[in-house]
Structure 1
Amino acid sequence: MARLFDRVLAYGPRVSLYDLQEAHLHVLDRNEDGTAARKHAERLQDPETIRSAKAIRPPGGGLKVDEWKQATVVSADNVVRYLAEFQIGEDDLNAMLANIAVVPAYEHMFVEARCIGPGMLAGASAFGWSVKRENDANGGWLMTAELVLEWRKGNPIGPIAMLHWRLDERGRCVADETSKPLTQAQFPESPDLPGALGNLCESFLMMADGATGVLLMTLGMMHCKNVQTSVMKPEVKQSQRHQRRHGNPLTRYHVLDVRPVTRALDTDGDAKRDGIGAALHRCRGHFKTFRPDAPLFGKLTGQYWWNAHQRGDRRNGAIKAAYRVHPPTGDGVGVVYEGRLAELLPTSGTAEEISSDRSAHAKAAHDAIQDQLAAALEQAGLTPLRPAPHEPQYDLAWQRGNELWIAEVKSTTASNEIRQVRAAIGQVLHYRSELGTADRVVRAAIATEHPVNDATLIEACRTASIVLTSPPEFGHFIRAHSDRAQDSAFIDETN
């Protein structure tokens, strides 16, 4: 069966004023506005109107076929059904998207789906996004996506808009103060009649707003190992027939099985009973990344759909509060740390180039240590925190009673141990001074990649009441100091 992607390659997307006006007729018909539709149809039958309207189009050479052929095609039909089943509103969708990684898994993708339900996406029958990913010089990624709509099979129209997103280092959309992803939109324009194409395309994009949510949800689910992706190969004879007619064989495409997510939200969050919004806050479905140095269950690595709340203790409250993009903690220190997105995408370059990039290795080691410490804190029943924008930029923090712990994380080698730990000592002393109050005791820790060997550094940290720790010791360190904090709290209460 031919997908929208195959039809775009076969017929090419069109975006003249006539194409857009013809699409507008479909919208009027779908809205059952008979009088307006009849008048509009009569105008489109006038030969002069047709000629002039077809001449008004954006400049450019049209579809870059060679570039499109490199795209990985993904069917989002199951994502559309999933969103429709739970009747997810805009606020619920924004809440979900604020906490998932949506960086495209491939440099060039085409994400498409058939429309479900009357009036969906301006009454179109199918839509597709041509998605590109590139590295951002400031960290993270830049993502662009061009929208193609199809009202009548074999007549794709577009791109009607190009949307731009900036993604942070964890692959999440950078959001504004309302927690909505920041986007910029560009619309096709004709130099002969400025505004004619853009105004119509903008109205179609507004009516097709649900297509954006489908795209982002699809990209997010593709990173989840327990959301299966199957490759569908077209039937050989159909593909050969299509190639004879159009010059290209039918494209194989990926299909997402979203049933694990549906089961999680329904079973753990009672989504069908209470609605998807309540389920999301109760279930807090999100993605977690497990690396080879800290695998899930001792053997599994990669990104998973994770329901962290299934632990019947007081942490549930903190986890619910953490569903916002920048959730504050109880006394205004930090926001909940949710891990970093390291090793999400295949690394470009040869193995020799990658191994020689010391700064990249140091950053990856730093992120891995930080995630391991956060995981150890969660296992101990504590909530790991990262700094709010206005706070000193420590790596991790957590609270136990009236104690606030601040940790600085350092990747270390035999040659840089002294330099790294010296820098960390200065940092944690500054953090301790900045965050200490009459009602809060601030304690400091330095987490290093390897145990510190230099005796003078060990003595300097002991004298300054700074705890040195490393990944093999994280559990013991947290338990020991948690027990001490509990003993201190008991003594305070009995005095």
Structure 2
Amino acid sequence: MEGELCDGWVHSLSGQTLCFTGRVLIDGEWTVRKDCREIAQQLGASWKPDFSRKVTVFVHGDLASQAVTDTHREYSQKLVSAADWRDRGYHVCVVDGDGFADLIGGHAARCRELLRAQGSDDHVLVLPQAGDGILGGPLQQHRVSLHEPGALTLDLADLDKGTKAHESTIVALNEHLSRQHIELRGHARNAPRFDAGWSRGDDVFVAEVKSLTGASEDQQIRLGIGQVLDYAHQLQLARTCGRIRPVLVLEKQPADPRWASLAEASGILLTWAPDFAGC
């Protein structure tokens, strides 16, 4: 990756050269390095036993666990090497165990920032970020699908996601946040399937987007309120990183002003296009 700029994400394992340390927790199971290598190779990646200039992605496993394959010092040396190469202008992406599991599942993984521990020459900290376990990779715009007119059963929660108004609202929200240098992201692999999310400081915003054109406003808003409260409750029970802020994003201002007071009383940020007040 010499001379290339990292956009903050590892989007795929294909074509990457990996270096591993320790074991990785994949879907609740500790996975030894040998198995991680085999999985990566099946997805188009190669690997090196030791850190070198050819490595493009460094995968660090669990350091505190007694069952880690590397000793503490060997692990530290590899991570320090990655930090040293970054200092020299050669960027190597660093992903944690969750990130590696995300890549296996076809999701983007956050490239982690590194920071040397104060007063130590050989201890490097991999920094956590607000939204870990909640926010996934950059949000991808979906193509609008057409529904068969004769469909007998409908999932109201999913039906709205395919409408042009729904996608237009997400595009407008993305543009609004981009002007603030905030990245709009999808849900993490094991998080509730909210429409969009972002972080600001320690606050993590999880949003449901509802179109109002050609639909019952009351029905859409009630559905959206229930969804974002459910998302927030699930994430709070999971004790994820960051303060959860549920958001209901509407295509336009609702006709009935009572929804604003109801949302406020429920701890929900209610906002709408084109200004997206509060976002």
Please give the TM-score of this superposition, normalised by the length of structure 2. 0.47
- Greater C-alpha radius of gyration: 1
TM-score by length of 1: 0.28
RCO comparison, higher one (Cα < 8 Å, 6+): 2
